[in-house]
Amino acid sequence: MDFNSVLQGVLPTFVANASHGSNSSADNGLPDGLLDTLSPLLGMSLQLNPLMRLFMILYNMVGSHLGIDPTYIITMAGFLWAGNKVWDQLYATFYGLARQYFMANIEVSNSDDIYYHLMKWLAAQPKMVDSRSLTAETASKGAWEEEDESELLTARVSPDGSDIFLNFSNQEAKAAPRFTPAMGVHSFWFRGRYFKLHRKQESLFDPSAGFSGMPQYKDKETLVLSCFGRSPEPIKQLLQHAKEQYYLDHQAKTIVRRPAPQAIRRFSHRHSWQQVANRPVRPMKTVVLDDEQKIRILSDMNEYLHPATPRWYANRGIPLRRGYLFHGPPGTGKTSLSFALAGVFGLDIYVISLLDPTLTEEDLLALFTSLPRRCVVLLEDIDSAGLKRTDDPEPSATSSSSSSDEKNSKEQEDVDSKDKDKKSPKKTRHKSKKDWKVSDLARELKRHGNIDSIDKKGISLSGLLNAIDGVASHEGRVLIMTTNKPESLDEALIRPGRVDLQVAFTNATQQQARELFIRMYEPDSSRAPLPSSPPAPLTPFSEPPPTPFSLLSEKDGNLTDVSGATEVGDDDAIPPIRTTTTTHNPDKGLVKKPAPLKLGSTLNSITDEENEKLEDKLHPAELSHIATQFAAKIPPGQFSPAELQGFLLKRKKTPRRALDEVEGWVAGMLVLKASRTRVLAVQ
Ligand SMILES: Nc1ncnc2c1ncn2[C@@H]1O[C@H](COP(=O)(O)OP(=O)(O)OP(=O)(O)O)[C@@H](O)[C@H]1O
């Protein structure tokens, strides 16, 4: 192709110049043969591409104005580009060789917890955060994570301009994203050493069925840590450091795990459990229970968890398991004690509800076998699960004895309904579709739901027993089962070996009511103690530390209070919403009554100063006195600690008000309980 003739149509003047001095590059800035070189490369696009025309004009201008042959510039650029490519290749080859022969490497897969330890640590490294290649992740704060006070202050202004109520509408907007190293190679220094991090992702074909039931590709991410030297020791130290940092506040926290959703737990054995909370350790002293009982269970668990215990069990051929049954009415502290125990021993807690409709016996077995070496497994409300012996003719809602109760009551219901039908002949048993109401439809749907759940296998008693102590069952764990109806449990479930210690919980005694009162109003432990305050009364039990077993060993005997654990919640940060005003009544003298809410006033101004002085800063002796008076008004065994706690929580800044109002509350609640109503008229 004749390039000049092509250009002639496009750029006549330029081509004229070029043609004029076709033998001299100095005349028009175009080197000899350049067009001939470019034309086969560019082909017809030259004719069509306006960019190319622009290029030719620029080429001409550069040549004529700078006096440099543009070909040199193009050649230099080509060399630089090629050099860069060669350098990349050489670097990759030499780095690969260096990695192989002069560097140590450790790979971490994202299916392992170490991956999360490392990522969290990397995200906190300033050097990494400043890296130019990052991945941003949404990071929401957990309920128990420390919040910046300034965030709280900005949260005080509500959109309507009033500043009484906290407003968190912008909390998500304020949450800073978490930045982690993006895919690719990064470098950083740690303890004076240079490390390389290669974050890579690959898609692997997974022949096992995925969520859709079909084999599929799944992404696998790997972190490769490298450092110079033939020993991987520095990397191991780095990983250890990252792990320690991850669990830095673990002593003061209890990790709560529950079974992962069915699809995920079947997908990966390693992810059978998922973390649902990381909450502050519940101090043992906050669980109001007979001290003797507390000490018995603490020393029993302590002995069981001792490192020498497995050998002792093995020598005697006893399976290494320990089971506890906590039984008692609702709201008496069974779950609370389980969490407090997990906190004392620094164990994670694994909670299983047998009522989970997706839980099968195979799942249960898999869940038990994937437990860590030491942990607390909490099986809640085992009486309400659909436990039945596999040879039971019919599925029942509860275990054997309770099922007969239910059956009786069901029969009674049937009889009643038959009687009713007889008494009201107008009411026909089978309604025509025309007579159907929404409630009938709901009942029908519910019935279908029940049919489905009957179709589902559920957990049989033998399935549960197999998971608890079958051959494949995990040894070393602490199993806590809770129930409101111990009498309804199958004997096999609670025989020694499965349940080694039973702990009975009861409704509150007066002593417990007093303790609850003191716990509610005593100064927060994060505050400086009141001057000259005598030791807190009625708490002979001091809680053990949340860490080593040795501090709790029987030899030591003395369970000293060195918990240092974070108290749950700091109520003092939240001012009361309602103030009280003191008025003079000719008949009753000085009367305190709640003042109407003053919209627009500041949070501080709605805090009743008088309350602050009189009630919030009660001297321990005075508090103890009021607590005794309060306890005297609580009939023993009538109210659960949860009920008393609920009453006190509504008056959490005003102990005197609680004392004044408790009589009325008790009377009202007793009437409510007698009438078996669920709607609270007194609160
Ligand atoms: N003995 C107790 N000491 C301190 N607080 C208690 C006690 N019992 C109950 N509470 C309080 O009552 C609430 C409910 O307690 P918890 O969940 O431990 O009761 P539970 O016996 O497990 O109830 P359920 O049988 O309904 O599961 C918690 O907030 C807890 O703080």
Bridge pairing between strands 322-327 and 478-483: parallel
pTM (two decimals) = 0.63
Q: How far is the CA of 330 from the centre of ligand 1 (A)?
A: 7
- pLDDT above 50: residue 311: yes
Whether the CB of 488 sits within 6 Å of ligand 1 = no
For residue 273, the Cα-to-chain-centroid distance in whole angstroms is: 12
Q: What residue's CA is closest to ligand 1, atom 26? A: 330
**353/332 Cα distance (integer angstroms):** 19
Q: How far is the CA of 332 from the centre of ligand 1 (A)?
A: 5
Whether the CB of 480 sits within 6 Å of ligand 1 = no
- pLDDT above 90: residue 632: yes
CA distances from 335 to 199, 280, 332, 369, 606 (A): 42, 15, 9, 23, 36
Per DSSP, 634 falls in state: S
- pLDDT above 80: residue 566: no
Q: What residue's CA is closest to ligand 1, atom 29? A: 642
Instruction: Ligand 1 pocket test: pick from 282, 335, 380 the residue with the most ligand atoms within 8 Å of its Cβ.
Output: 335
Whether the CB of 234 sits within 6 Å of ligand 1 = no
Q: What residue's CA is closest to ligand 1, atom 20? A: 331
- pLDDT above 90: residue 1: no
Atom nearest to 642 CA in ligand 1? 12
**306/554 Cα distance (integer angstroms):** 11
Residues 6+ apart with CB under 8 A from 655: 517, 520, 521, 615, 618, 623, 626, 630
Q: How far is the CA of 654 from the centre of ligand 1 (A)?
A: 22
Whether the CB of 484 sits within 6 Å of ligand 1 = yes
What is the token pair recorded at 171?
């909390």
Whether the CB of 353 sits within 6 Å of ligand 1 = no
Whether the CB of 481 sits within 6 Å of ligand 1 = no
Whether the CB of 285 sits within 6 Å of ligand 1 = no
**Residue 190 β-bridge partners:** 193
Atom nearest to 289 CA in ligand 1? 1
- pLDDT above 70: residue 36: no
- 181 membership: H or E segment, kind and range: strand 178-181
Q: What digits encode the pLDDT tens for the residues 509-538?
A: 999 999 999 999 888 765 444 333 333 333
Q: What digits encode the pLDDT tens for the residues 312-344?
A: 988 998 888 899 999 999 999 999 999 999 999
Q: What residue's CA is closest to ligand 1, atom 5? A: 287
Q: What residue's CA is closest to ligand 1, atom 28? A: 642
Whether the CB of 335 sits within 6 Å of ligand 1 = yes
User: 480: helix, coil or strand?
Assistant: strand
Residues 6+ apart with CB under 8 A from 213: none
As a whole number, mean pLDDT of residues 455-471 equals 73
Whether the CB of 642 sits within 6 Å of ligand 1 = yes
**pLDDT at residue 58, as a whole number:** 82
Q: What residue's CA is closest to ligand 1, atom 13? A: 642
Q: How far is the CA of 679 from the centre of ligand 1 (A)?
A: 20
- As a whole number, the mean pLDDT across the chain is 72
Atom nearest to 508 CA in ligand 1? 1
**410/341 Cα distance (integer angstroms):** 40
- Which has more pLDDT, 308 or 675? 308
As a whole number, mean pLDDT of residues 382-388 equals 65
- Which has more pLDDT, 210 or 94? 94
Q: What residue's CA is closest to ligand 1, atom 25? A: 330
Instruction: Identify the band that residue 386 occupies on the pLDDT scale cut at 50, 70 and 90.
Output: low
**523/612 Cα distance (integer angstroms):** 12
ipTM higher than 0.95? Answer: yes
Whether the CB of 330 sits within 6 Å of ligand 1 = yes
Q: How far is the CA of 505 from the centre of ligand 1 (A)?
A: 10
- Which has more pLDDT, 73 or 157? 73
Strands of 215-228's sheet in order across: 103-109, 215-228, 193-209, 184-190
**pLDDT at residue 301, as a whole number:** 93
Atom nearest to 329 CA in ligand 1? 25
Instruction: Report the first-to-last Cα separation within the chain, whole angstroms.
Output: 97
Q: How far is the CA of 335 from the centre of ligand 1 (A)?
A: 6
Q: What digits encode the pLDDT tens for the residues 50-62?
A: 788 888 888 888 7
- pLDDT above 80: residue 438: no
- pLDDT above 70: residue 384: no
- 299 membership: H or E segment, kind and range: helix 291-305
Instruction: Identify the band that residue 151 occupies on the pLDDT scale cut at 50, 70 and 90.
Output: low
Q: What residue's CA is closest to ligand 1, atom 27? A: 330
Q: Are 472 and 319 a contacting pair, CB within 8 Å?
A: no
Whether the CB of 334 sits within 6 Å of ligand 1 = yes
Q: How many CA atoms lie within 13 A of 203 on its CB side?
A: 3
**CATH 3.40.50.300 location in the chain:** 271-393+455-506
Q: Which CATH class is domain 271-393+455-506?
A: alpha beta
Whether the CB of 333 sits within 6 Å of ligand 1 = yes
Whether the CB of 641 sits within 6 Å of ligand 1 = yes
Q: What residue's CA is closest to ligand 1, atom 11? A: 642
Q: How far is the CA of 268 from the centre of ligand 1 (A)?
A: 34
Q: What digits encode the pLDDT tens for the residues 582-616?
A: 444 545 444 444 444 343 333 444 344 445 444 55
Q: How far is the CA of 239 from the centre of ligand 1 (A)?
A: 40
**79/372 Cα distance (integer angstroms):** 59
Whether the CB of 336 sits within 6 Å of ligand 1 = yes
Whether the CB of 288 sits within 6 Å of ligand 1 = yes
**pLDDT at residue 332, as a whole number:** 94
Instruction: Ligand 1 pocket test: pick from 294, 325, 336 the residue with the most ligand atoms within 8 Å of its Cβ.
Output: 336
